[in-house]
Amino acid sequence: MPHSRLTHSHAAPWGSLGRSLVLSVAFVISVVPSAYAQTRLRFGPRAEPDAPASEPRPDVRDTLSMSSTEAEQQGDATRPWYERLRFSGDFRSRYEGFYQESTQTRNRVRLRFRMRVDTEVNRDTQFHLQLASGDPGTPVSTNQTFTEFFLPKPFSLDRAYISYNPKAASAMTLGLGRFAMPQSVTQMVFDEDLNLEGGWEQVSWAPRKGMQVTLIGLQTAVNERSSATDSYMMGGYGEVRFPFGSHSLQVSAADYGWGQPDQIAVGSVKGPLESILTNDLLRNAAGEVVGYRSGFNVVDVIAEATIRTRRAPLRLLANFAHNTRAATDRDSGFWIEAEYGRARASKTWSTGYTYGWVEQDVTPSAFVFSDMPGTNLRLHMLEGSYVPLAGLSLDVTLHISKTLQPATPSAVTHWLSRLHVAAVVRF
């Protein structure tokens, strides 16, 4: 297939998807007036599982002389800016071992440090900032390896965004900047450390008691170029959550359309990206990578159930993803998670298992789970976590993976085992 033809086909990955997103955004806007009175929308992107967002505390000194109505109306907007700042963060130190037949065993130690600042700019607007360790060339990891002769480790701008949640229409949130993903995802499609750049629109309402509906539109800039077409990713997402007695079920569907994705492949080879590249690639006569053989329009469907048992919650998740623009039949992926327990408070624990079948061109490999070697693999992952003291957890994870489709029919592949042992503090 000529490269010019491929590039042209990659330039417009949407078709009906683009029209669907426009209609979904229009629908989001149209339902806000009727929805805002029925719900209180979560503010900004979802908090990470290992880093719950801190709740703002009212300042008694500011509200003591006001009536309850006045205090509610003025709230944090009357407080000095420095009293509205909320700091949080986490630090992790982790041992990693790599074990594979016919390959030398590798041992390394890594750290991750993240510092967050949240503040209410006014009654309707919030600002979030996060600085993090990690290699600036890797968008899916904030880990930093202990190496390079004691040289200082880089500390970068990981997130910076504003979110607008008007009290007059509290079902709606608009966001702009570099932000965590506001939608539910698994690491088969996007690593949990990946932050997007652009904007999102979100509306959430409760059609009936206990039921929650959320719609999200995403517009992101992947790579801006001054003299050529930009690379981008746009998405539409819908989610329904409803209870079954003390249990709950959440079902979501998303569509992620990538424009000009060839720039991701070239950037992974020539820089500035330092990402795993396992998709089927297109090369020129000199053997240089010029793009992907496939385009990418990823349909992602997730069902997640939480079952309240007598001792601890049981969480079950199933995820199916399919790339409708793949050039081959290696275009889909399955991801299953099971977790028992909840390691949050002191003396609590959790254990979990994940299975992944991730075909070669289901999604761009540059942005998948950083602890698995790209796409085109089968994965088993066992996890355990224990919290001996408040704010401190001890985590053990074992990843076992193997290539699905070898580079050549005669190639022999072996299972790769990766052991992680970590200590994490949160503050």
pLDDT at residue 51, rounded to an integer: 45
Confidence tier at 27 by pLDDT (50, 70, 90): very low
pLDDT at residue 1, rounded to an integer: 43
**CA–CA gap between residue 289 and residue 281 (Å, rounded):** 7
Cis peptide bond upstream of 388, omega within 30 = no
With pLDDT > 70 as the criterion, what percentage of the chain qualifies?
A: 82
pLDDT digits (tens, 9 = 90+) for 47-93: 444 443 333 333 332 322 333 344 344 455 678 888 999 999 999 99
pLDDT digits (tens, 9 = 90+) for 148-163: 999 999 999 999 999 9
Strand locations in 245-331 (E)? 247-259, 281-283, 289-292, 297-308, 313-323
Q: 22-36, 366-380, 395-409: which range is least confident on average?
A: 22-36
pLDDT digits (tens, 9 = 90+) for 227-257: 889 999 999 999 999 999 899 999 999 999 9
Helix (H, G, I), strand (E, B) or coil at 21: helix
Highest mean pLDDT pick, 15-24, 60-69, 81-90, 404-413: 81-90
Helix (H, G, I), strand (E, B) or coil at 328: coil
pLDDT at residue 45, rounded to an integer: 52
Where do the domains of the chain lie, and which CATH numbers do they carry?
A: 3-54+86-426 (2.40.160.10)
Strand locations in 324-414 (E)? 332-341, 348-358, 377-389, 392-403
Mean pLDDT of 195-212: 96
Residues 117/132, Cβ–Cβ less than 8 Å? no
**Please, what is the average pLDDT of the chain?**
86
pLDDT digits (tens, 9 = 90+) for 272-301: 999 999 999 999 999 999 999 999 999 999
Strand locations in 101-207 (E)? 103-120, 125-133, 144-145, 155-164, 172-180, 195-205
Residues 6+ apart with CB under 8 A from 188: 319, 321, 333, 335, 356, 358, 362, 363, 368, 369
**Residue tagged 């990823």 (tokens):** 298
Q: Is the per-residue pLDDT at 179 higher than 80? A: yes
**CA–CA gap between residue 165 and residue 377 (Å, rounded):** 41
pLDDT digits (tens, 9 = 90+) for 112-151: 999 999 999 999 999 999 999 999 999 999 999 999 999 9
Model-level pTM greater than 0.85?
no
**CA–CA gap between residue 76 and residue 128 (Å, rounded):** 16
Residues 394/386, Cβ–Cβ less than 8 Å? yes
